[in-house]
Amino acid sequence: MDTDELVLAACREIVDLTRDRNAVLIFTSGVDHCKHVAQKIAAFSGRECAVVTGETSPGERAEIIDRFKGKSVPADLFGTPKPPLKFLCNVNVLTTGFDAPNTDCVVLLRPTNSPGLLIQMVGRGTRLSPETGKQNCLVLDYGGNIMRHGPVDMITVTDRTPGNGDAPAKKCPQCLALIHAAYQKCPECGYEFPPPEKSNITEHAAKDGIISGETFYDEYAVKNVYYCVHEKRYADPDAPKTMRIDYEVGINDFRSEWVCPEHTGYARGKFEKWWKNRAAPDCPIPSTAREAVALANDGLLAVPQSITVKSVAGEKFDRITKCVLGERPVMREPGDDSAKINDWPSNSPQDLGVSDYGSEIPF
Q: What percent of the chain has pLDDT over 90?
A: 59
- Asked if 39 and 155 sit in the same domain, the reply is yes
Q: At 342, is the pLDDT very low, low, confident or very high (cuts 50, 70, 90)?
A: very low
Q: Which of 161, 191, 206 is the last residue of a domain?
A: 161
Comparison of pLDDT for 18 and 212, the residue scoring more: 18
CA distance 27 to 98: 13
pLDDT tens-digit map of 295-308: 999 999 999 999 99
CA distance 146 to 118: 9
- Asked if 14 and 151 sit in the same domain, the reply is yes
Q: Are 26 and 87 in contact (CB under 8 A)?
A: yes
pLDDT, averaged across the chain: 87
CA distance 147 to 205: 12
- Phi-psi map region of 219: left, alpha, beta (phi>0 left; psi -120 to 50 alpha): beta
CA distance 75 to 287: 80
The pLDDT of 251-270, averaged and rounded, is 94
Q: Are 221 and 249 in contact (CB under 8 A)?
A: yes
Of 292, 238, 236, residue with least CA distance to 261? 292
- Asked if 48 and 115 sit in the same domain, the reply is yes
Task: Report the sign of the C-alpha dihedral through residues 254, 147, 45, 34, in that order.
Answer: negative
The pLDDT of 20-42, averaged and rounded, is 95
pTM of the predicted model as reported, rounded to 2 decimal places: 0.70
Name the domain count of the chain. Answer: 2
180 occurs within a structural domain: no
Q: Which of 97, 126, 161 is the last residue of a domain?
A: 161
| Three-class secondary structure of residue 159 per DSSP | coil
- Asked if 235 and 330 sit in the same domain, the reply is yes
E strand map for the chain: 24-27, 49-52, 87-90, 105-108, 138-141, 169-171, 178-180, 215-221, 224-230, 242-250, 253-259, 304-312, 319-325
CA distance 186 to 175: 9
186 occurs within a structural domain: no
pLDDT at 173: 84
Can you give the residue range of the structural domain that contains 221?
215-352
Q: Which of 133, 161, 189 is the last residue of a domain?
A: 161
pLDDT at 119: 93
- Asked if 153 and 221 sit in the same domain, the reply is no
pLDDT tens-digit map of 172-183: 888 878 888 878
335 occurs within a structural domain: yes
- Asked if 129 and 251 sit in the same domain, the reply is no
Q: Are 46 and 31 in contact (CB under 8 A)?
A: no
Q: At 163, is the pLDDT very low, low, confident or very high (cuts 50, 70, 90)?
A: low
pLDDT at 131: 86
- Asked if 348 and 230 sit in the same domain, the reply is yes
pLDDT at 52: 96
- Asked if 221 and 329 sit in the same domain, the reply is yes
Q: Are 126 and 61 in contact (CB under 8 A)?
A: no
357 occurs within a structural domain: no
229 occurs within a structural domain: yes
333 occurs within a structural domain: yes
Comparison of pLDDT for 251 and 227, the residue scoring more: 227
- Asked if 242 and 343 sit in the same domain, the reply is yes
- Asked if 42 and 146 sit in the same domain, the reply is yes
Of 202, 207, 205, residue with least CA distance to 219? 207
245 occurs within a structural domain: yes
Read off the CATH number of the domain in which 147 is found: 3.40.50.300
pLDDT at 166: 66
- Asked if 317 and 244 sit in the same domain, the reply is yes
- Asked if 255 and 125 sit in the same domain, the reply is no
Task: Report the sign of the C-alpha dihedral through residues 53, 56, 62, 68, in that order.
Answer: negative
Residue 358 clears pLDDT 60, i.e. is over it: no
| Three-class secondary structure of residue 271 per DSSP | helix
191 occurs within a structural domain: no
Between CA 289 and CA 282, with CA 331 as vertex, the angle to 5 degrees is 75
pLDDT at 341: 44
CA distance 222 to 207: 20
